[in-house]
Structure 1
Amino acid sequence: MPAVGGEPIRLEQHSRHQELLQLVTPMSWLGTRGARREGFDALARAVDTVATAATQAGGLLTAPGLSLDGSVVPLDGDTHWLEATDPVEQEVLCNLLRRHSPLLIAIAGRGSFVPGGRRDRIGSRWLADSREHLAARFLASVSQRHLYRVQAELRRRDGISHLDRMDVAPVVGDGTVLVRCLDAQVSLAETRAHVLLLSALALRARALVKEGRREGHVPQRLLEENRARAISDGLRAGLAEDRRPRDRDRDRHDQPARNQNPQERKVPARQAVRVLLDDLVPEFSRLDATPEEILPLLCLVELPGGQSLRAQDLFAQSGRSGRVPPETVREMLTDSRPGGPLLDAVLAEYPGSGQLMMKVWREALESGVSLRARRDRDRAPAPSSGRQDQRRKARADGRRGRPAGPAKGGKQR
């Protein structure tokens, strides 16, 4: 098997589904374009090796939940591990990922696909059918004593005592964070984009720790309701906001909103994902990300007409005759280019708006300033001189019917 950073990629059989295989990559640093190119090129070669072996054995390689001949292929998830520098960062990262877990589910969730069959419009078929996933719990600490209490609470309430059954969980002893709420993807380009998204959130957690800040506690009931909506409806879901004030100013401004009907305070998941991606522009920039690399994320929220495009949708286009060519599936799983075939499809289907979207995000990533911050900066009024302020005040006083008095420190005419 090809190696990443000197360590080989392992091929393992799935513990519950004998027909599924898993490729396990070693822990590696992916903070630059070169490192990501090396890592995903090696992963593409590993997948291609498995595809060749399957063909020689008389079989076909496909992705979880993607049926080529009408047979049922089980769905599964992509498991990610993120390394933290210390227990405090591990705790903040766990809670930050917990808060965004409904959005992560909406981003990566997908339904099963059978050529010629009815489209599965569920947000995440894998999580909807799973009995081995729990919503993440807020962690006040990642000390062994506190985690023991969390395990005891899970055992008492849910009959499960393993932390790794949660969507996001700390790995005791090695300082890593386990993320297991993302559906398995059908292309390397989508997996690459998800790796960048998780890496950006890890950088955000590190920045919070350096500033001496922690991640707040989102109410568990609110989190689980939003999680259920994301699993059911994906990007079509309406997610309730956490409207609790966090400081005095927010309390003053949000007081009327808290008295409204909670159903009137839902935010479309698509809008929330767009805000999240824009908010993470500084972190994407620090990772030296390109718009091509995060294109699978942009295709969910930035295409014209509110359209969303995933790699799985390309199979529907190529399989209109009732059968997806195995070569198309193999290309998706082995194309390590940033954006992959999805980039080609976007530029072909949306030639004008697609190029504009790439241009806008390229400028944002190169500057490291979010689109919202750039808009606010451009709308800010230009600073005026002291004489201009005096003239404006005099005109205002004249409109009010008062004589224009002298400006402070000026001379009266």
Structure 2
Amino acid sequence: MGAARQALAKGLMVQGADPAAVLAAVSRSGLPSLGGESIRLEQHPRRQELLRLTTPMTWLGTRGARREGFDALGYAIDMVATAARQAGGMLTAPGLSLGGSAVPLDGDTHWLETADPVEQEVLCNLLRRHSPLLIAIAGRGSFVRGGRRDRIGSRWLADSHEHLAARFLASVTERHLYRVQAELRRRDGISHLDRMDVAPLMGNGSVLVRCLDAQASLAETRAHVLLLSALALRARSMVKEGRREGPVSQRLLEENRARAISDGLRAGMVEDKRPRERERERERDRDRGRREHQVRDAPPDERKIPARQAVRALLDDLVPEFSRLDATPEEILPLLCLVELPGGQPLRAQDLLTRSAGNGQALPEAVRTALTDSRPGGLLLDAVLAEYPGSGQLMLNVWREALESGLSLRARRDHDRPPGRSGSRPDQRRRGRAGDRRGRPAGPSKGGKQQ
């Protein structure tokens, strides 16, 4: 079972020059091709200073295919940067100002191809459930040289009026999607499905993901491509096993989405405390002939967990998919830098660029290097190995072992546990000579010694 084909539109921005002149110069030179089709450079339909490099739908399911794809994308970005310099300007990422004024923001758009409508439905709903975590992973604040640090989770989505939380899709047939469009038009005044964070595309069987901020480095974009590819592979496995992705409360989803946009990885995510228990209760009630809505409408038992903890659990859960994609720990290092560093603080490429600006280094060159460096990990790998020479290498080795085994951390713990021994020791109560009800062994009797 192979990975899905993917396409990417990388958000870029030209500062200090005419973007139309940059676009014309690059068009005359010709962009590299990928999978037999050329990479396209286009201007944003409403913000002319924003550019988008769009790759064709290509297969990135192996290490070699990703190396070829991102080498071509890095070369194309370097061509745009050279044309911007020759026009008297600079190339940067949206929301990253190299001068002293604010700049517009944009996102990186992803498309995932599916095999059939059932897989398209399952993938849409799976991405919908994880969309708050995707926003927390990819979100970043704007950066203006000489200004205060923006600590918001996602400045782009916070200022946007064109994004809606994804809706649960019971089907992706044209008739059902028409009803979803009618509901969006009635409630939100928007009649286009592609205004949602995750949306199915009718006609070509693809899934659109448009809730990830435009990244300041190519290494982070590569890690996000791998993350989405792993989720697509999980959806494909679910379809093969005959499973579907169940509905998540729209209220909980929108609340978590708002928290991720506002606070990013600092947010506390609200989750359903007992989804499996309620599902088992629903099955029992159906067997008894009770009406299903009596259980479904019950108020959920909720709790909050830190977003970093939820992201860490998601990455560990996707280890089998990462392993089947032949991923390396260096490729997913931008994801690990959010949750695994010893200091406990997430590290992004934008943080490294902020340091360069504070140290008086050449910020334009640092930005160009981050955007064109197609190595797995890029500048983040160099920074982690320099700042955490021991623990950073240990983190990479642990994840390399996990990816080679194809087992999550929990599965490896169960696999390595000796037979007959478990953390809970359920037979402890039977072994106790005169233990109490909780299974503790009896202590010495009054006035006597322990036997």
Settle same-fold status: TM greater than 0.5: yes
Match of 2:395 among 344, 357, 367: 357
Shift of 1:245: 3.4
Aligned to 1:155: 185
Aligned to 1:10: 40
Shift of 1:374: 1.2
Q: Does 1:337 align with 2:375?
A: yes
* Aligned residue identity for 1:229: R
Cα 1:259–1:126, aligned 2, differ >3 Å: closer, same or farther? closer
Aligned to 1:35: 65
Q: What is the SS of the residue equivalent to 1:351?
A: coil
Q: Distance in 1 between the 2:146 and 2:301 partners?
A: 43
Aligned to 2:242: 212
The 5 Å alignment of 1:121-200 reads: 121-200=151-230
Shift of 1:114: 1.5
Aligned to 1:376: 414
Q: Is the 8 A contact 2:319 2:407 kept in 1?
A: yes
Shift of 1:381: 4.0
Aligned to 2:358: 320
Q: Is the 8 A contact 1:116 1:322 kept in 2?
A: no
Shift of 1:250: 5.9
Deviations 1:49-96 (A, max 9, x none): 011111111111111011111132211000000000000000000000
Q: Distance in 1 between the 2:281 and 2:210 partners?
A: 35
Shift of 1:243: 3.2
- Report the identity percentage: 81
* Aligned residue identity for 2:404: E
Match of 1:269 among 293, 307, 326: 307
Q: What is the SS of the residue equivalent to 1:40?
A: helix
Q: Distance in 2 between the 1:261 and 1:218 partners?
A: 13
The gaps in structure 2 that reach 5 residues or longer are: 1-30, 283-297, 422-426, 436-451
Shift of 1:398: 5.8
Per the normalisation by structure 1, the TM-score is 0.89
Shift of 1:321: 4.7
Cα 1:231–1:210, aligned 2, differ >3 Å: closer, same or farther? same
The gaps in structure 1 that reach 5 residues or longer are: 253-257, 385-391, 401-413
Q: Distance in 2 between the 1:107 and 1:213 partners?
A: 27
* Aligned residue identity for 1:193: A
Q: What is the SS of the residue equivalent to 2:120?
A: helix
Shift of 1:269: 0.4
Q: Distance in 2 between the 1:359 and 1:214 partners?
A: 35
Q: What is the SS of the residue equivalent to 2:221?
A: helix
Q: Distance in 1 between the 2:409 and 2:362 partners?
A: 39
Q: Is the 8 A contact 1:66 1:114 kept in 2?
A: yes
Q: Does 1:230 align with 2:260?
A: yes
Aligned to 2:335: 297
Q: What is the SS of the residue equivalent to 2:97?
A: coil
Corresponding pairs, count: 386
Task: Indicate the structure whose relative CO is greater, using CA pairs within 8 Å and at least 6 residues apart.
Answer: 1
Q: Distance in 2 between the 1:313 and 1:6 partners?
A: 36
Q: Does 1:115 align with 2:124?
A: no
Question: Which structure has the highest strand share of the two?
Answer: 2
Q: What is the SS of the residue equivalent to 1:78?
A: strand
Shift of 1:137: 0.2
Q: Is the 8 A contact 1:115 1:322 kept in 2?
A: no
Q: Distance in 1 between the 2:122 and 2:301 partners?
A: 31
Cα 1:109–1:358, aligned 2, differ >3 Å: closer, same or farther? same
Question: Which structure has the highest helix share of the two?
Answer: 1
Aligned to 2:384: 346
Q: What is the SS of the residue equivalent to 2:110?
A: strand
Q: Distance in 2 between the 1:103 and 1:5 partners?
A: 31
